[in-house]
Amino acid sequence: EVQLVESGGGLVQPGRSLRLSCAASGFTFDDYAMHWVRQAPGKGLEWVSGISWNSGSIGYADSVKGRFTISRDNAKNSLYLQMNSLRAEDTALYYCAKDLGSTTVRAIDYWGQGTLVTVSS
Amino acid sequence: QSALTQPRSVSGSPGQSVTISCTGTSSDVGGYNYVSWYQQHPGKAPKLMIYDVSKRPSGVPDRFSGSKSGNTASLTISGLQAEDEADYYCCSYAGSYDVVFGGGTKLTVL
């Protein structure tokens, strides 16, 4: 059974940093691309960032480019999101998500339950 | 990276069919056959319903179907059931490892 378990969310002040982690199990982690997708309270889904199986291809939404960094450790079956210079508008539930493909972005077939990030003073 | 355009809401009676549209550009929907659709019930994680424009994952009822024409993709749900009431999101690859979601459509089963 595929499991994606996010951690690292919490309350943080504007301008500060936070690192999200996602522990993956139930599939061959290094065979698939992975993503972070967020959802602000009462709002729609927003793709944040994606990374190919070997970290050779990485993409970011314009809203986080230059502030967030995605990475993965295939030896630890883990995905990460380093979030710097956080803003109030980054407040959201952050989902770790698995892609159907390894290099090309096709679709997200599994989602975690999310970790809540609240940016507020 | 502009969001794909979906109607805010659609509705239908049990047994009827509804179609949700998703309009993008030649740089996303029109340029790639990597359009997917997700169903999200309140308080739950999204669920993949359609991928590669028209393919259904195992376990998704064949009442759900997807298509694409030009820069517009569509999700059709036939034989509406009460449990289909949810939010639906389209998503497309947009090149250069970029992904864009639609704003979401709330489906109400009357």
Q: Going residue by residue through chain A (121 aa), what tens digit of pLDDT does each one get? A: 999 999 999 999 999 999 999 999 999 999 999 999 999 999 999 999 999 999 999 999 999 999 999 999 999 999 999 999 999 999 999 999 999 988 888 999 999 999 999 999 9
Residue of B nearest to A104 (CA): B97
Q: Residue B1 pLDDT > 80, yes or no?
A: no
Interface contact flag, A59 B97, Cβ < 8 Å:
yes
Residue in chain B closest to A103 (alpha carbons) equals B97
Contact B36, B50 (CB under 8 A): yes
Q: Do residue B52 and residue A107 have CB atoms under 8 angstroms apart?
A: yes
> Which pLDDT score is estimated for B2?
85
d(CA A74, CA A54): 8
CB A5 within 8 A of CB A95: no
> CA of A85, closest CA in chain B: separation in Å?
21
Closest CA in chain A for residue B95:
A105
Residue count (chain A) = 121
Residue with tokens 């291809």: A57
The pLDDT value given to residue A16: 98
* pLDDT tens per residue across span B14-53: 999 999 999 999 999 999 999 999 999 999 999 999 999 9
Q: Which of B94, B97, B92 is nearest to B51 (CA)?
A: B92
How many Cβ atoms from other residues are within 10 Å of residue A43's Cβ? Answer: 12
pLDDT, average across residues B67-89: 97
CA angle B27, B97, B42 (to 5 degrees): 90
pLDDT for residue A102: 83
CB contact under 8 A, B97 and A47: no
As a whole number of angstroms, the distance between CA B26 and CA A13 comes to: 40
Q: Which residue has the higher pLDDT, B81 or A101?
A: B81
Instruction: Cite the DSSP H helix spans in chain B.
Output: none
Residue B80 makes CB contacts below 8 A (sequence gap 6+) with B12, B13, B14, B15, B16, B17, B18, B109
Q: Which two tokens stand for residue B57?
A: 């994952």
